[in-house]
Chains A and B, each alone.
Chain A
Amino acid sequence: MTDPVLEFAHVSITAPGADGPRTLVHDCTLQVAPGEVLGLVGESGSGKTMSVRAVAGLLPDGFTVEGAIRIDGQDISELPAKRLRDIRARRLGMVFQTPRAHLNPLRTIGDFMTEALVTVAGESADAAARRAMELLAEVGIPDPERRMRQRPGDLSGGLLQRVMIAATLAMDPPILLADEITTALDVTTQEEVMAVLADLRRTRQLAVLFITHDLALAAAVCDRVAVMQDGRIVETLSASTMRADAREPYTQRLLSAVLPADLLSGQTAAEPILVVDGLQKTFHVRSARGGRREVFVAVDDVGFALAPGGSLGIVGESGSGKSTTARIICGLESADAGTVSVKGEDWTTPARSARGRRQRARIAQMVFQDPYLSLDRRQTVRQCLTEAVAVHRRSASRAELRARVDELLASVRLDPTLADRRPRSLSGGQRQRVAIARALAADPEILVLDEAVSALDVTTQVEILTLLDAIRRDTGVALLMISHDLAAVRRLCDQVVVMRSGRIVEHGPIADVLDDPQAEYTRLLLDSIPREGWVPRRRIPARVSVPDDSTGAASGSSTSAPITALEGDR
């Protein structure tokens, strides 16, 4: 093995705090060699991001680093500030999770691309511009000349992430720090970005420190994986033999969270409780520039049925219309055409009166993506659940309400001692349990899960999915699960609907669809999921009409931000 270009030797990082300093990273040792991808994997708060920020010189004020971080064998703490800045500029590249926030919105892509070439490498503006266009082409950005004149607001998330990578390569650095670079992207876009990265690593012998919470992705794209928990590296494994070699219980927990689950079986053939037919929804979006109104078809002729006690997954990427469909069913949006009927009643338009909303509330309830946002942060768990129960049992006595709330807490396996806490002092999983308990307060017959586990850490995801499955078995509630995550849907649902750009592309029993996909798009989605032996592929030329990134809608890359905001999938 060649000498490492980036090395951590017993690095600890300490944050100042009102209650005394806190150590976020303990005694961390790792090496990355040229041409090697080292995954640094852990759940939120495990200290992985602080570790890369220490290399890049981006720790917040007051943070201290002990031990040695070496670039090309040189301890960076021993370098004078100006020299260190120069080394970082020339030897390091860094790509972040949210490209939109990490690009200056007021300056053009051209400014961004050439800035370091001109100010650090001292190239002429013309030479820098030529080089910038080459780099943009290298990362697969079509029409680089036009892109150079645009600002970040004109580009989609996937394209911006490629711009970030291209700009990083401008100085030809041997080390790339990648901090959750695909977390904010759809799976197919993730595959594109990973394919770009794999190419570059091969052609340029890049040493990549790849930070992710996604163990499956790490296993698929990394050579070695360091697993981090509570600021400590618990073990470092070879990616190809990880499953066999894992010794630490924490790693095994992470691994079990990504294993495909047993398929559920047993279809119910009763009269459907929910029938959606010919649903259509169009948004009029005023584009950020120009002020011209654009029409955006969010949902286009969507129809399906859900059996009582059944479970149906709606799968798709951002902009596919899956969330809008769920919101129409729950009366948060009104449809332009088509019908929603629940137990034979017409639910196409939202209920106007509070009484009508209460009646529907007893039949259909919803669990949202981010439990911290879907709970009122000023209410305690008990206040929140009491309110939800009291809406439907107006004459209930204090004692009855209390008893029902305790029952709900038990049904989601939540420790009753947490009842007086506010969402702020609960973990992500506990918050989502509260949100589920609230949804169950009205004894609904349909539970709509809108990306209900995608904001959670992987081990928590498994717990919540298991809980939902148990609730379904116990209460016979039908589940309508909206998700971008095929594995999660597979775990919970009997039936699946695959959506793209507002339309249904495939529909059927889960095993049939996922094991023998008929639609090309379903195959693409399945191929994009990182797994053992996965080779990410670049498909740009082949799929011009397919939304290529997180904001992409029908019109592809020219569509801009407001649509994402409306769709709200992510």
Chain B
Amino acid sequence: MTTGVLRRVLGKLGALLLTLFLASVVIYSAILLTPGDPVVALAGGVRPTPELIAVIKAEHHLDQPVWIQYLYWVGGVLTGDFGTSFVYKTPVVDLIGSRFGITLLLVLYTVLLIVVFGVGSGILAARRRGAAEKAVLVGTSVGVAMPTFVVAILLIFIFGRLLGWFPVFGAGEGLLDNLYHLTLPAISLSVLYIAYVSRITRGAIVAQAHSEHVDTARVRGIPSERIFRNHVFLNASPQILAISGTTIAGLFAVSAIAEQAFGIGGIGSLLTEAAARKDLPVVQILSLLLVALFVVLNAVVDVVIAFIDPDSARSRRTA
């Protein structure tokens, strides 16, 4: 049995690496697919000076065949050399390094909100008939139509203009101040996903509660609290985990919207800005980073699910 688990983990790892490899090929080929001269694309869409052309050609090995260029690029990424932004005129690794922390903090804050309120309200709606269930159902129906930017402008209007309890711009200094500043951004990022996770949680629990093995437990007189824990929630958890995992894995990308709305200098706003300035080297590295985060987080969730349900085997493929 343990060899089976090991074999499956290794298989997953292989699939994950293959996906990452293929995704990196897709992302790298952006240089080739961009209309016009690759040198122009790498320089941010403007014709660079002859000196800069030489620098760009040398750095990206443009005189070599395409696959060699790719290998240099990937080799650089793997050894921590993310190349140079010719728009910011700085190494990309510095651009990302100074901004990653705040985005990570924002994402963790948001994950906390999603897990506590999303899963919590889902359980509540599944277990309590009547008013609580109705309230959660209506709330989540509206919630899944409330994107980050809409929640953000509402919060900015309410707190920035009317109440003034929370700051509506910037990320602050120091951890506590960071958290204080990130409260509204985290709320605006989480609302839609709280609603989504809540609905999935409720659905999974209700489906399990009607399953036949729960009938068996009921006939046997197992106390209802234990039935819920060991037969309903346990069996619903793979589905809840799968959906939450994919949602959370995607947060690093969508955080760009909250960062933009609240003027936070994280990797999301760097990505937006770089795209607006056509700074392809920065966008490529960030894309690869976000894809890697997405794929790895999903794979981690898959492993957790495999521990709960060893037979889930090949039912879900994310990597």
Chain A–chain B contact at Cβ < 8 A = yes
**Which chain A residues have a beta carbon within 8 Å of chain B's beta carbons?**
56-58, 85-86, 88-90, 92-94, 96, 98, 101-107, 111, 115-116, 119-120, 151, 153, 164, 167-168, 171, 288-292
User: With A89-B221, A151-B310, A289-B4 as given contacts, are A102 and B11 in contact (CB-CB < 8 Å)?
Assistant: no
Would you call A101 and B219 a contact (CB within 8 A)? Answer: no
B13 to chain A, nearest CB (A): 14
CA distance A168 to B47 in the complex (A): 81
Would you call B235 and A56 a contact (CB within 8 A)? Answer: no
Of all chain B residues, which has the CB nearest A560? Answer: B311
- Chain B, interface size category, equals 20 to 34
CA distance A168 to B4 in the complex (A): 32
B57 within 8 A of A: no
Residues 181 to 237 of chain B near chain A (Cβ within 8 Å): 211-213, 215-223, 226, 230-231, 234-235
Would you call B217 and A115 a contact (CB within 8 A)? Answer: yes
Note all chain B residues with C-beta closer than 8 A to A56. Answer: 215, 218-219
**Which chain B residues have a beta carbon within 8 Å of chain A's beta carbons?**
1, 3-4, 7-8, 11, 211-213, 215-223, 226, 230-231, 234-235, 308-311, 313
A143 to chain B, nearest CB (A): 16
B166 to chain A, nearest CB (A): 43
Would you call A290 and B4 a contact (CB within 8 A)? Answer: yes
User: With A89-B220, A92-B219, A120-B221 as given contacts, are A151 and B311 in contact (CB-CB < 8 Å)?
Assistant: yes
Note all chain B residues with C-beta closer than 8 A to A102. Answer: 212-213, 215-216
Note all chain B residues with C-beta closer than 8 A to A120. Answer: 220-223
A-B pairs with CB below 8 Å: how many? 93
Knowing that A103-B213, A106-B309 touch, tell me 20 more A-B residue pairs with CB under 8 angstroms: A89-B220, A94-B219, A101-B211, A102-B212, A102-B213, A102-B216, A103-B216, A104-B234, A107-B231, A111-B230, A115-B220, A115-B226, A116-B220, A116-B222, A119-B223, A120-B222, A120-B223, A167-B220, A289-B310, A291-B4
Would you call A101 and B311 a contact (CB within 8 A)? Answer: no
Note all chain A residues with C-beta closer than 8 A to B230. Answer: 104, 107, 111, 115
Would you call A291 and B11 a contact (CB within 8 A)? Answer: yes
8 A-B pairs with the lowest CB-CB distances in the bound complex, closest first: A89-B221, A290-B4, A101-B212, A116-B220, A104-B213, A102-B216, A289-B4, A94-B219
Would you call B7 and A291 a contact (CB within 8 A)? Answer: yes
CA distance A56 to B220 in the complex (A): 9
Would you call B222 and A153 a contact (CB within 8 A)? Answer: no
Would you call A105 and B311 a contact (CB within 8 A)? Answer: yes
B181 to chain A, nearest CB (A): 42
CA distance A164 to B222 in the complex (A): 15
Note all chain B residues with C-beta closer than 8 A to A291. Answer: 4, 7-8, 11, 313
CA distance A116 to B223 in the complex (A): 9
Would you call B219 and A57 a contact (CB within 8 A)? Answer: yes
CA distance A58 to B214 in the complex (A): 10
